[in-house]
Amino acid sequence: MAIVNNLQKCLESPYLFEDADAPSRVPALLNLAADRLEAATNILTYNKGDKADVIFLSYEAMFSCMRALVYSKGLREYGMRCLMIATEVHYVKTGLLDSSLIQKFQQLQQLKSKPEEAVEISSAFVKRTLELLTAAQAAKSA
């Protein structure tokens, strides 16, 4: 299969598809993000555990948030590239999400970060995700 490099190609591939049930999965993804961020914070705070786990758990929290954002749009993914593209199209290009958070996510994915920075970045991403989803819900209710 050719390299998928835009949203339309992702939607034509098996890696991104519309799913009316996707938004119902958002709360579980947010709970998972909170759980992973809490675990990372606890390892860092109490200095019990491997510092690499802090980075990985922070990455998992961000990954869950990215999925929650895309799922809230009624999309599901089966590939990281299409998840990244959908996030960029729906959130970065629209000015809702700072591109630096996506760059930091990619660094964490490669475990290239200091544990303290990983928790800080992940916390910012979780916070911004909650802000975006809360605002979207409020707009739907209005």
**Which pLDDT does position 48 carry in this prediction?**
82
Q: What angle do CA 19, 63, 115 make, to 5 degrees?
A: 175
Indicate whether 4 pLDDT > 70. Answer: no
Q: pTM score, two decimals?
A: 0.93
pLDDT at 116: 95
Q: What's the rounded Cα separation, in Å, for the pair 27 and 114?
A: 29
Q: Residue 1's pLDDT band (boundaries 50, 70, 90)?
A: very low
Which is more confident, 33 or 142? Answer: 33
What domains can you pick out in the chain, each with its CATH number? Answer: 7-13+23-136 (1.20.120.330)
Helix (H, G, I), strand (E, B) or coil at 62: helix
User: What 3-state DSSP class applies to 17?
Assistant: strand
Strand partners, 77: 16
C-beta separation of 83 from 66 below 8 A: yes
Does residue 17 contact residue 34 with C-beta atoms inside 8 Å? no
pLDDT-derived band of residue 50, with 50, 70 and 90 as boundaries? confident
Percent of the chain with pLDDT over 90: 83
Helices (H) and strands (E) in the chain, counts: 6, 2
pLDDT in tens, 52-74: 999 999 999 999 999 999 999 99
